[in-house]
Amino acid sequence: MNYFWPLNPPVNPNANGHYFSNNLSFWNLLKKSDLITQPVKRELSGDEEVSLKQDINYKKAVFGITDLIHDKVETNSSKVSVERNRILRILEIIDKRPTKVLCLIHSKVAIAFQHEGFIKRNPNYGLVGEYKTTLIYEVPFHNSSIGEKDRYYSLLKKNLCKYGQS
């Protein structure tokens, strides 16, 4: 299993029950970096195509998606705070489900992991740490203003190959 771990569900995806369903930008980024081999055509089908079916995933890799703060719906991330128990919940999930790669998607998520001593964000993005046998990556949020976002997602794919994590 490889997990993408964003901060919290925004209003629209929470209401329709589909991750990253405001638009196709996240799925397009996965396609551009070759983490998926075919484009996702509809916003509401991306999480099913990538997480449930895996037919379009690079080497049929298993990708899970879940939120750090799964029970607070908020579009404005400045209104979201991360408590230590949220990080511990993630680690419990990783302990129960063997996870090859944990991919942190939001600076608040990565900062919380750094604050708890699990990663070092220097430099930000790319391989930033390890928990037991799980590699921890940080990538920019798909709709952030960070340039070259696809480069970081491509690096993730490259390292999945390098470490035999697919």
pTM for the whole structure:
0.88
Helices (H), 54-142: 84-96, 107-115
* 29 neighbors 143 (Cβ within 8 angstroms): no
pLDDT given at position 110: 93
Give mean pLDDT, residues 126-147.
87
Residue 73: strand, helix, or coil: coil
Predicted confidence band at 161 (pLDDT cuts at 50, 70, 90)?
low
Tokens found for residue 6: 């964003």
What is the tens place of the pLDDT at every residue in 81-125? 999 999 999 999 999 998 889 999 988 999 999 999 989 988 788
Q: What is the CATH number of domain 2-162?
A: 3.40.470.10
Which of 37-41, 62-66, 159-163 comes out lowest in average pLDDT? 159-163
Give mean pLDDT, residues 40-64.
90
* Per-domain residue ranges of the chain: 2-162
DSSP E strand boundaries for 7-114 = 63-65, 101-105
Q: How far apart are the first and last CA of the chain?
A: 8
